Amino acid sequence: DIQMTQSPSSLSASVGDRVTITCRASQGIGDSLAWYQQRPGKVPNLLIYAASTLQSGVPSRFSGRGSGTDFTLTISSLQPEDVATYYCQKYISAPFTFGPGTKVDIK
Amino acid sequence: EVQLVESGGGLVQPGGSLRLSCAASGFTLSTYAMTWVRQAPGEGLEWVSTISGSGDSGTYYAESVKGRFTISRDNSNNTLYLQMNSLRTEDTAVYSCAKDNREGPPRAFDVWGQGTMVTVSS
């Protein structure tokens, strides 16, 4: 099975900072990758699918890039409401594995 | 409004069974692939099972639940199910159902239910 890893596992940044999270697949998955945000105590929220397509209603400060095995999620200007854990997930084929998550805090 | 509401969770002894339900409203359940995801306390998201959308009722399972869990849906009631047998303590988690963001093969999940807690303990 294809394994998903994320780095860093956690980060702390200031409001307004540019933040980048990396997701890596153990084998190529094309662009079959989604990113989710899970705020504390809330259900996950789809941010990006097809590696770089912004889900409707998601602020434009979120962006995704990558294909094959290496992907990034970037928050161009971190806001207080962005405090959350971010997960990548592959869907090219089952199992539709999630990454372990990256916890983002405000410094 | 598109909505998913889970029910059926609770406390069960190891080796026991539970059936979870996910009532869908605002869309036709059969059109979309539907998925169960679980999250153990303090842990990350774990994909559990997916059933394909219309034209293809393929089912997929995580290795950790294969042979013990069965996903199904009742299109007439617009309800998704997860039958869980031979439950283990490590199955303890909040179980959420999620809807695919497009018709066709399983992709990303754009609508999630609030989840139902399953506790497996003696």
**B5-49: pLDDT as tens digits:** 999 999 999 999 999 999 999 999 989 999 999 999 999 999 999
Confidence of residue B104 (pLDDT cuts 50, 70, 90): confident
Residues A94, B101: C-beta atoms closer than 8 Å: no
Closest of B40, B34, B16 to residue B79, by C-alpha: B34
Residue A26 has pLDDT above 90, yes or no: yes
Mutation target for A interface from B47, B59, B95, B114: give the one with most A CBs within 10 A.
B47
Backbone angles phi, psi at A61, to 5 degrees: -70, -15
Residue B55 has pLDDT above 80, yes or no: no
- The DSSP symbol for A81 reads G
Above pLDDT 70, what percent of chain A?
A: 100
Q: What is the spatial distance between Cα B22 and Cα B24, in angstroms, rounded to a whole number? A: 6
Interface contacts (A, B; CB < 8 Å): 61
